[in-house]
Amino acid sequence: MSWQAYVDDNLLASGMVTAAGIYDLQGNPWAYSAGFAAQIAEVNAVSAHMAAEPAALAATGVVVAGIKYMYVSGEAQEVYGKKGNEGVVFCKCNTCILVATHADKIQPGQCRSTVGKLADFLRESGI
């Protein structure tokens, strides 16, 4: 399966994710949905915090595609941020990081669960 198919079939098709991308741990894109503009430096910054101290993002927030989200929770494998009723989730795998946003009509837990399931599958596959 191509990386784009993971984004399209596993994330966007679920209806629980508005936009998403798969990046290496340095923030370089592997695949992403149309119009999703997460920058390399933004993904890299969150990835680095996940490896060291995710809670440090509480001071700076999480920035994706130039939009600053308030840090809500984080651990070594998942960080969640929100802005109003919209949110962003980062799930770290062995060699990549999934980044997904959800619109205000989608419950945060549904988005986080959908992205988390794909991340679990990729981790189990060694990716």
Q: What single-letter amino acid sits at 20?
A: A
How much is the pLDDT for 91? 98
Domain that holds residue 37: 3-124
Contacts of 52 (CB under 8 A, 6+ apart): none
Provide the greatest CA pair distance for the chain. Answer: 38
Tally the domains of the chain: 1
- pTM of this structure: 0.96
* Tokens describing residue 43: 């993904």
Q: Of the candidates 74, 96, 108, which has an alpha carbon nearest to the alpha carbon of residue 30? A: 96
Give the CATH number, domain containing residue 46.
Answer: 3.30.450.30
Whole-number percent of the chain with pLDDT over 90? 98
Model confidence pLDDT, tens digit, residues 20-74: 999 999 999 999 999 999 999 999 999 999 999 999 999 999 999 999 999 999 9
Terminal Cα-to-Cα distance of the chain (whole angstroms): 13
d(C-alpha 103, C-alpha 1), whole Å: 27
Tally of CB atoms within 10 A around 58: 15
